[in-house]
Amino acid sequence: MIYCVELAFSQPEREAEWNAWYSTHLDLLLSVPGFSTAQRFVSIAPCRAPYLAAYSVTSGAVFESAPYRHRGGRGSPGAWAPLMINWDRNLFDGIAQMPDVASDQVLVVADGMTGEIRKYPLQLQWLDCVGLDRTVPGRGMGVLSAAEYAALAPVANASLRFYKPLTPQLRVAA
């Protein structure tokens, strides 16, 4: 399952400090049993929630566990929480692990299978939203090379977004 957290940060002058905090937050969530990968992204084009953190989790039960309740969720950002706006948390089913997006690749996210999206040559994994905020019914996700992105960049919109990695994909040690 894929757990996605999307949001905007309301104080650009503190963004570097917040990004540093968020990197430690990824490690904290990876210490929760049931989390196996974490990677952070930023949208290449302006959008409502330009930051995306994507995690691989074993099941929706992870979010009911005591370790998650102590380390994750809406209360976990502490003093940063009021500065995190347009904040959506969704749980998707359809693949077991989030694809690893290298620094020279782009993550493409499509919310809904509209006719507009179907006309583009995209190889997407289609996921059903099964939990948490349920702000979208489903989502397509895929990884593009720089050349594939360059060909599609002009079509970025509210339904089709492109993200560059802010971090490598972090994994729980085996």
> Chunked in runs of 10, what are the mean pLDDT values of the chain (174 residues)?
98 96 95 97 94 98 94 88 95 96 96 66 89 94 92 77 96 85
Tell me the pTM. 0.94
For the domain that residue 111 is a member of, what is the CATH number? 3.30.70.100
Question: pLDDT at position 114, please?
Answer: 59
Which residues constitute the domain of residue 98? 2-171
In total, how many domains does the chain have? 1
Provide Rg for the chain, Cα atoms. Answer: 15
Question: pLDDT at position 74, please?
Answer: 80
Ordered alpha helix ranges (H), 31-113:
66-71
Question: pLDDT at position 101, please?
Answer: 98
Give the C-alpha separation, 140 to 132, whole Å.
Answer: 18
